[in-house]
Amino acid sequence: MSEPDYRFTLANERTFLAWVRTSLGLVAAALFVLHLIERDLVSLLLAFLLLASAAGSMVGGFLRYRAVEAAMRAGRPLPAARVTTAMAVAGVLVVVAVGASAFV
């Protein structure tokens, strides 16, 4: 295994930290929903979706970080980014839940 250019390793770390920030923001949004919005089935579903998205962001970001680091060190092509697709789907579900709560 060869050492990758340190700039790429640092960029990979910054990307992972962006996933962590996203996760923390989703947790904050879930807490907002749980504490500042009247609790009903839709708001609980929304909070659950936000927390599940936060967990997915954290785990997915870490797995992506590890896969990219391993590929760079082995000189292989970078792996496909499946986490972004999952987060986009979760985002659509959150938008639908927010829209549903506006009409309930």
Which pLDDT value is given to residue 66? 96
In a domain? residue 1: no
Nearby residues of 92 by Cβ (< 8 Å), 6 or more positions away? none
pTM, to two decimals:
0.83
Count of the separate structural domains present in the chain? 1
Better-scored residue on pLDDT, 92 or 43 = 92
* CA–CA dist 90, 67 (Å, integer): 22
In a domain? residue 79: yes
In a domain? residue 83: yes
Q: Look at phi and psi of residue 17 and say left if phi exceeds 0, alpha if psi is from -120 to 50, else beta.
A: alpha
Which pLDDT value is given to residue 82? 86
Domain that holds residue 42: 6-102
CA distances from 43 to 37, 79, 85, 93, 95 (A): 7, 36, 24, 13, 12
In a domain? residue 62: yes
* CA–CA dist 98, 30 (Å, integer): 12
In a domain? residue 69: yes
How does pLDDT run across 21-77, given as a tens digit for each residue? 999 999 999 999 999 888 888 888 889 999 999 999 999 999 999 999 999 999 999
In a domain? residue 63: yes
The band of 101, judged by pLDDT with boundaries at 50, 70 and 90, is confident
